[in-house]
Homo-oligomer: A and B are copies of this chain.
């Protein structure tokens, strides 16, 4: 596996692969890789000749009081894991390489950001869309791989690709979970032992809501109330519990069609998110 820290370097890798008629799969990450990321790398490797993984903790998508500085980083471990999962090239740029000066413009997301994580993280998805557009232009892959765990991010990247006619396929891969159901996340390391033991309640609550819908309960308010009720026994704090149409992210009174159940939950040092998509 080759490591490239510069835009020029990664472009040369991709260009060289293109000359040999190789296809390129791309997995953008913020590092501190877990099995969720590795499943994306494996999915990319199964379909493409060259797999590029980027590791870049993007300051633009963190709010002033969020965890940019203390976001977990472990490059040597990531390097090992990415290589084992099948990455051919690791793109590992510095903040200065990606943002040599203040950005004179950004992508501003005007739809689909007033709910879920967008509501509590203003500007977050502008930062995500901006860095992903940059990475797409730098790497120019055939296909990019994202995890369904970040459902709103996936919806916004899909919108971005469509809105700007970006010539890249989007591949959304299923959420990878611990054995007890907790969604894998780089932020899980921040949980205390007690919180870690309790945290599967997030996914259990999503499963419960999904079962209630499948059993015939179609009133959004009732599902929301029952899910919140179940979360009351946990020791953290609800950021949101949501039931929305998907991917439009609207709030229908009566649930029908494709539905996303989503939770964001604050523990002491970590905000965890998870979601469940089903046909109502």
Contacts and interface: CB of A to CB of B under 8 A. Distances in A.
Contacts of A110: 103-106
A108 interface: yes
Count copies of this chain in the complex: 2
A109 B104 CA distance: 6
B133 A164 contact: yes
Contacts of A104: 109-112, 156, 159, 163
B164 A137 contact: yes
Interface residues of A, number: 28
- Per DSSP, chain A at the interface is mixed
Contacts of A51: none
Interface string A146-180: 00000000001001100111110000000000000
A129 interface: yes
A7 B103 contact: no
Interface of A: 7, 11, 102-112, 129-130, 133-134, 137-138, 140, 156, 159-160, 163-167
Given A103-B110, A105-B109, A134-B165, 11 more contacts: A103-B163, A104-B111, A104-B159, A105-B111, A105-B156, A105-B159, A105-B163, A106-B108, A106-B110, A133-B164, A134-B164
